[in-house]
Structure 1
Amino acid sequence: MLSSPSRPKLRRSVRDIMETGINIYDDDLDSVCSILDKREESGFLQERSGSNEILSRCLRVLYLFFSTMFLAGSTIVCVWFLTYWVKASVKDETCPVQEWPYPDCSRQLTHKQGNEIPPMYTPEHWNEVRRKYHESVPASRSSLGKEWQNLYKMSPERDGIVVTEHNNGFVAPVDFKYSPGRGRGVYANAVIKKGQKIWDNRYRGVFDSDCSAKVFLNKLTEEERCNAIFWGYSNNFQGKGFKYMMDLDGHAYFNHCSYNEKSRNSEHHYEDELERRDYGLPHFFSFSLLHSTDQATLQRRNTIGSHGLYATRDIPAGEEICFDYHDIHRNVIFDTYSFLFAHALDIHQWFTL
């Protein structure tokens, strides 16, 4: 029987033997090749078995990794939700308004179908709502501009004529009209150029606490409360933590259009950061510019009127102005203030807004 050399060496040995004239039977050669084939096959199976074991170990590691990540994420979400729930459950005994009646806002949803659309607020109505806000927060913490009590404002000259306008945060010519299928809306009254400021936040009411929000809402009529629920949002514009806020002028009438919609024509940012903007960037990239930790930057951003809405392209006269709501809305569901509104609508109705 031949030893177990490699196949090329075996073939050379057989050839050499045959050249010497020694007879070697075919069955003997077949036996040698068969033995060698079995040994090679055994080695291949062992190699494949080793590869399968490595793959199995990798899959186990991936399974453990993703299982751990899922458990960690679930734990964080549960703790986060529980923390907010506890905070919302703890009553501030010093607050003059411990409870307030949740309004029934179901009928407000009819504006989705274009029926019974609530009327536009008059300048006098907006002025009254601002007064209620000003009475609900400490004077030192009011976020309204000092002219909030004025019913009219003097606008820059247009064609040599000084125009008197109702007092609001708009610095571009706009009209408030009904938007088909969407309710109230804001329309350009003249051509607005790309990069031009449309509105600033001089009349954005920011609530410094859960109590101040309750006091304000308690002063409102039933319809005003429902409007506040639909118009309010939560954000950390000023770098002082997430606050509930509401724009107490016609900014509340802007409708939503997603980032990818061609109709989107405006976006929020700070005036001193205009040169850093790239209107080609999605809002979730550009929004990071609003959260610098630089103290000088934060101080500028805390200046009343420093945050505004700007045109992202030329807007022709008569076109509705809209922006992506995610540009300003953040963490509404898990914010403490949202528990104020939990019973205003049935849970399924919130998803229709």
Structure 2
Amino acid sequence: MNIFHPDRDTPSGNLAKWLFDSQQSEISSHFLYQDEDPLMSQSLDVPRQSAAVCRLSTLEAHTDILRQALQTARRKVVIVSPFLSIRALESDHLLPLIQEAVERGVEVVVYTDHYLDKKNGLWKEESLQARRALVEHHVSLRVLKGIHNKTLVVDDRLLVEGSFNWLSARRNKDDARHECSILVQAPAAAACIDQLMQELEAIDREALFYCPPKQKILCADFFCQPLYHNYWNSVLTHLRERASRLNLPEDSNPEPLQEIRKKYPRHRAAWTDEEVQLVWELMNYTNDLRVFTDCLQRSERSIRYKVEGTAP
């Protein structure tokens, strides 16, 4: 600041007279160095109870921070929600926000539980619809065996953890329960986030569903995972009936193809949105390839290519 001399009749001296006249005229470096990560204070409108930690105790506070997380994340959003509900996703208009985040290059990861959200051993319809919607919007959906924590993570700068079910809690004030969470900001958040990710990685994983943008792969190595069944015979009967109502391809094809279609009636037929939906529903019930070929009337190779993106 030695170039500013208010006693001199020079351009810098005249500027100095104005700068030094009042504190309001000060050129401050605060706007450059006020935060290690400017997005923390400028984009995420969090309560300022303290510099690093605060408490959320209202429905609005939780839903607002969730929406802001999706809107402001730079690299990654992690949501741990043991229960899932399509109603929560739709009430908060979360699916468009997820889509926008993915299009910005943000990785959105959702952890949920394998044992919860079931009735008579089967996924509840609301949960099934939520799972399908998340994968269709390119969320990496990871199903773990035995989680009950409710956590939100934004990059390496914010962690919120408490009793609020992020993707299933009722959004109606009259029906909502009182929920509380502790919000931890950077720099303290980084160590907490590292610990959380280590804990999640240590829990047995049942399945991972992911549909990359602009691709049709639903789950790599899906049929190579340990065999599991999560259905009643009535469920398979219902899925077979739905598959049987799909239009079959015309018979005006070469004779070799007609022979194959005697065993697999939908062989080489174009995949429809309704049929892809059936594939996703089957993936929630089993990874037995024989069940897929029986229900969908397609060859094992065709189904593996659709689900895993490759076929042996």
Q: Which has the higher contact order (CA 8 A, sep 6+)?
A: 1
Q: TM-score, normalised on structure 1?
A: 0.22
